[in-house]
């Protein structure tokens, strides 16, 4: 097994929801699975004063709840490697005590100068923290912040969580600030959807087989649907969500990662450079709608009231009359040879009928239908590949067969691979393998600066004043537990298509 280097994982935002619910449980899982170097240390930092033990006690119930197969003894073993330091990462004076603590931990645990920083704080704090890290003398080539053993080769890397800016301009500014402190090879823009097994499996399915790729183009594929439906509401995050919305929260980030893997050209070799280069190219090939096209290429919605809470724009923390979307569907076209004329419909929303993330690849009907005069044939176009990413992990390929018996009748059947049944493996928390990749220096599943900026350019018409018309009827325009606003059905209906809304 490829082992990580010994290192310190320094988490800014130790008291945050992401750290408790995802990051530490994921690190615990990685520890149990033997993926971490035994000397790995986790150092959390946040403003509130607390001891190492107090932080460990706070984390334990979260890990017990979120990590699979919680084991008290294994937790105790891992908890010994968890530490805490209080301080304000945006203030210069914090960096002297932080340096001293890092140096002491590195000496004690033998992590050398290796340091992986995880920014798990509010997006507005990213730049101030990175500026302080830079000013403190950290991560300048050849210069070590935490120089325990000056002769030892060491690395310092940074993982930046989404939202990576809120538009092209803020993403460029953040990239510049990061670029002043870190080399591009040391910057890991994380998207936890790329840690999901079935998202990674997309590349193997496409490029590890010969049966799909010849058909994977506009000649044979009618359209693609990418869905991330959630049943949850916005919870305690109203202020964050109201400034964000479904396009920023899910589409520009997570669903564009899936989009890139479904649509990109095959890299010549599976290396970080080649994979990332192809993703940059395909995001750059998105055709950006103009004028009236913007409203015709999207459907935006807000959930109505139900028995548990009011309509979105009436929630505490949401600006009265807010037009932030809790549901968005957009239609994407690529200006390239492979996909000319084949639309990709992408949708995501809160409080929908079910929790499901999936890709539906709908193939075109056979070029000539020799059964067209046979009664009982015809109807639905058969071939469809469904890649279900969550909550179940499965692949489903639909095709037409003859119904056994006399006469000639056709039926659509599905051939299915259920990952849990077949591989006897439950899904693991997506953050774990990604953080381990960053510890190994593997950037394949992290976003490049240019890709992030390109993704913002592609969604901006649906976010800025050009989307005003699409937002004019947004309030309470879909019922909780439904599949979104009627305008989303019309988006596909205008093209003679329908969403796959199967339970």
Q: Among all residues, which ones are annotated catalytic?
A: 254
User: What's the closest the beta carbon of residue 333 comes to ligand BG6, in angstroms?
Assistant: 26
Give the phi and the psi of residue 322 in degrees, each rounded to 5.
-50, 140
Nearer residue to ligand BG6 within complex by CB, 243 or 390: 390
Q: Which is nearer to ligand BG6, 230 or 393 (CB)?
A: 230
> Nearest approach, Cβ of 187 to ligand BG6 (angstroms)?
19
CB of 65 or CB of 107, closer to ligand BG6: 65
Determine if 230 is a binding residue for ligand BG6 (CB under 6 A). Answer: yes
186: three-class secondary structure by DSSP: helix
313 touching ligand BG6, by CB under 6 A? no
| Preceding amide of 79 cis, omega within 30 | no
| Paired sense of beta strands 82-86 and 115-119, if any | unpaired
Q: How far apart are CA 52 and CA 49, in angstroms?
A: 10
Tell me which of 249, 393, 437, 453 binds ligand BG6, using CB under 6 A.
Answer: 249
Determine the residue with CB nearest ligand BG6. Answer: 249
Using CB under 6 A as the binding rule, whether residue 120 contacts ligand BG6 is answered as no
Between 303 and 334, name the residue whose CB sits nearer to ligand BG6. 303
User: Minimal distance in Å, beta carbon 107 to ligand BG6?
Assistant: 37
- For residues 305 and 390, which CB has a smaller minimum distance to ligand BG6 in the complex? 390
Number of residues written out for the chain? 503
Closest CA to 256 of 442, 489, 109, 462: 462
Rounded to a whole number of angstroms, the minimum distance from the CB of residue 235 to ligand BG6 is 9
Question: Which residue in 201, 238, 357, 477 binds ligand BG6 (CB under 6 A)?
Answer: 357
Tell the smallest beta-carbon distance from residue 431 to ligand BG6 (Å): 10
Angle, nearest 10°, between helix axes 52-66 and 72-79?
A: 140
Question: In the complex with ligand BG6, which residue's Cβ is closer, 187 or 247?
Answer: 247
Please name the residue that has the structure tokens 């520009």.
252
Indicate whether 278 belongs to the interface with ligand BG6 (CB under 6 A): no
How many angstroms separate the most distant Cα atoms in the chain?
84
**Bridge partners for 240 per DSSP:** none
Closest CA to 44 of 83, 76, 89, 102: 83
Q: Are 357 and 389 in contact (CB under 8 A)?
A: yes
Q: Number of residues interacting with ligand BG6: please give it, by CB under 6 A.
A: 4
Please classify residue 405 by burial: count the beta carbons closer than 10 Å to its beta carbon, then call 0-12 exposed, 13-18 middle and 19+ buried: exposed
CA distance 29 to 34: 9
CB 301 within 8 A of CB 489: no
Site map for ligand BG6, 377-416, x if CB under 6 A?
-------------x--------------------------
Residue 123 touching ligand BG6 (CB under 6 A) = no
Contacts with ligand BG6 by CB under 6 A lie at 230, 249, 357, 390
């Amino acid at each position: 097994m490829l082992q990580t280097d010994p290192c310190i994982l320094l988490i800014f935002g130790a008291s945050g929801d992401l750290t408790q619910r995802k990051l530490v449980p994921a690190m615990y899982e990685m520890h149990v699975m033997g993926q971490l170097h035994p000397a790995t240390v986790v150092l959390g930092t946040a403003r509130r004063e607390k001891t190492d033990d107090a932080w460990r006690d706070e984390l334990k119930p979260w890990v017990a709840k979120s990590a699979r197969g919680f084991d008290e003894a294994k937790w105790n073993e891992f908890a010994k490697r968890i530490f805490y330091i209080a301080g304000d990462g945006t203030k210069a004076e914090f960096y002297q005590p932080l340096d001293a603590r890092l140096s002491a931990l590195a000496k004690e645990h033998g992590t050398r100068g290796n340091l992986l920083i995880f920014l798990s704080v509010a997006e507005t704090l990213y730049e101030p923290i990175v500026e302080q890290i830079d000013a403190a003398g950290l991560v300048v080539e050849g210069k070590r912040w935490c120089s325990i053993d000056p002769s030892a080769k060491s690395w310092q890397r940074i993982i930046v969580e989404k939202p990576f800016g809120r538009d092209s301009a803020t993403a460029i500014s953040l990239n510049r600030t990061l670029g002043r402190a870190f080399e591009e090879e040391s910057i890991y823009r994380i998207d936890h959807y790329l840690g999901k097994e079935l998202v990674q499996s997309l590349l193997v399915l496409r490029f590890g087989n010969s049966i799909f790729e010849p058909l994977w183009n506009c000649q044979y594929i009618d359209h693609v649907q990418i869905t991330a439906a959630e049943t949850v509401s916005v919870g305690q995050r109203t202020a964050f969500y109201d400034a964000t919305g479904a396009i920023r929260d899910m589409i520009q980030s997570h669903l564009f990662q899936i989009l890139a893997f479904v649509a990109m050209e095959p890299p010549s070799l599976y290396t970080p450079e080649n994979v990332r280069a192809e993703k940059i190219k395909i995001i750059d090939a998105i055709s950006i709608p103009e004028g009236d096209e913007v409203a015709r290429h999207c459907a935006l919605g807000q959930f109505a009231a139900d028995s548990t809470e009011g309509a979105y724009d009436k929630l505490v923390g949401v600006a009265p009359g807010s037009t932030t979307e809790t549901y968005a569907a957009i239609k994407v076209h690529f200006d390239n040879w492979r996909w000319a004329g084949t639309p990709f419909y992408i949708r995501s929303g809160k409080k929908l009928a079910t929790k499901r993330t999936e890709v539906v690849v709908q193939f075109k009907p056979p070029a000539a239908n020799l059964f067209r005069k046979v009664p009982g044939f015809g109807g639905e176009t058969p071939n469809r590949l469904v890649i279900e990413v969550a909550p179940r992990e499965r692949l489903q390929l639909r095709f037409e067969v003859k119904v056994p018996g006399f006469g000639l009748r056709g039926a659509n059947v599905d051939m299915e691979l259920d990952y849990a049944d077949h591989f006897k493996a439950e899904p693991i928390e997506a953050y774990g393998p990604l953080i381990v990749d960053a510890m190994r220096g593997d950037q394949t599943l992290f976003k490049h600066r240019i890709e992030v900026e390109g993704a913002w350019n592609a969604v901006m018409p649906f976010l800025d004043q050009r989307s005003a018309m699409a937002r004019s009827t947004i309030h309470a325009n879909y019922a909780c537990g439904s599949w979104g606003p009627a305008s989303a059905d019309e988006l596909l209906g205008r093209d003679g298509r329908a969403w796959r809304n199967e339970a």
